[in-house]
Amino acid sequence: MAASSISSSLPRSIRQAIPRCQQATTSSSSIIPSPLRQFRSFTTSHCSTKPSRPTPLALYTLRNAPRNPVRSFSSTPALPAKTVQQLKARSSTGPFSWKAAALFIVTGAGMIVYFRYEKARIERKRVVEMSKGVGKPKVGGPFVMKDLDGKVFTDEDLKGKYNFVYFGFTHCPDICPDELDKMALIIDTVREKSGGKYVMRPIFITCDPVRDTPDVLRKYLAEFHPGIIGLTGTYGQVKNVCKQYRVYFSTPENVKEGEDYLVDHSIYFYLMDPEGDFVECIGRQDTPETASQVILEHIGDWKREGKPLDTSEEP
C-alpha cells in the first residue's frame, strides 16, 4: 500500500520507466543475447538513483568557469578577480597600509596642535576678562599728559592700536636702559612679524617730571628707538597716571632745581588693547622673544574676533 502511494506521487515518465527497469534486472543474463545485455547495462546505469560521475569535459568546464559572472540585474560591471600577489600583499600588511598610518599620524598631530593652541587662546581670554571683572583693581584709566611737542595726550589717544606702556626716568642708572633696549627689540620684532604694519604704539611715561623735560626726553629716547612716544607733565599729572596704572614711584614732590635724587618705581611693561583695556603685564623675567610672542598672540586673537585695528603709521 505504501509503495503504491509513493509510486503514484512520482511523475508519469518515471512511473513508466520503473517496470521496464525492473523487468530488465530480473531477467537471466544467460538467456539475454550480448546486444541486449549491453542495452541492459545501459538502462540500468541510467535508471539507477545513484548520481553519475562527471566526465572529464564537465570537470574542465567547471574549473575554467568565470568566477564573477556578469550580473543580470546590475548595471555596475563586476570587479576583476584579485591576483595571488595582491592577496599575499594584503595578508602581509593587514587592514592598514603605510599611507593609512601616515595619514593617521598627521591627522592626530594636527589635532593635538590645534587643541593646544585653543587651550592657550582660551586661557589668554580668561586672563583678559578677569582683569575687567567686578572687584578687580583696574589697570589703566583716564589721564592727561603732554607729548614731546607740547600737545595734550590723553587715554583716548591710546585707542585704535595696541599700546606698550613703560614707566621710568632718564637718570635711571641701569634698569631703565636695559628695559628700553628690550623695548626697542620688541618693537622691531612685532612690526616685522606683522608685515611691517604699525599695530602697536610704544609709550614711555616719565616718573620724574622735574628733570625729564621734553628736550631731555627726546634726546634720551632717540638713543633706543625713534618710534617711542615720550610723555611728561606736572607732578600731579604724573601721580595720577601712575595711580591709574597701579605703578609705584618714590619721586619727591617738592624738589629744588639741581637737587640730586634717585627714583624707585615699578618695573613692568603694560600691554593695553585698542579699546584701552589692560591685557598683559610683562616683567624683567621676559625676554624680547617671549614678550614679542605674547603680544603677537593677543593681536592675533583680536584680529580673529574681527575687531578693528589701526595699522597706520604714527604722525
Read off φ and ψ for residue 27, nearest 5 degrees.
Answer: -70, 150
H/E element holding 178? helix 175-193
Helix (H, G, I), strand (E, B) or coil at 44: helix
Is 242 part of any known ligand binding site?
no
Nine cell digits for residue 175: 634698569
Please list, in sequence order, all residues whose beta carbon lies within 8 angstroms of the beta carbon of residue 218, skipping any fewer than 6 positions away: 148, 230
Q: At what angle do helices 12-26 and 2-9 cross, to 10 degrees?
A: 130
Rounded (10°) CA dihedral 65, 69, 72, 78: -170
Please list, in sequence order, all residues whose beta carbon lies within 8 angstroms of the beta carbon of residue 108, skipping any fewer than 6 positions away: none
CA distance 99 to 175: 57
Residues in the chain, overall count:
315
CA distance 271 to 290: 14
Is 281 part of any known ligand binding site?
no
Is 298 part of any known ligand binding site?
no
H/E element holding 206? strand 200-206
List binding-site positions: 172, 176, 265
Binding-site entries for Cu cation: 172, 176, 265
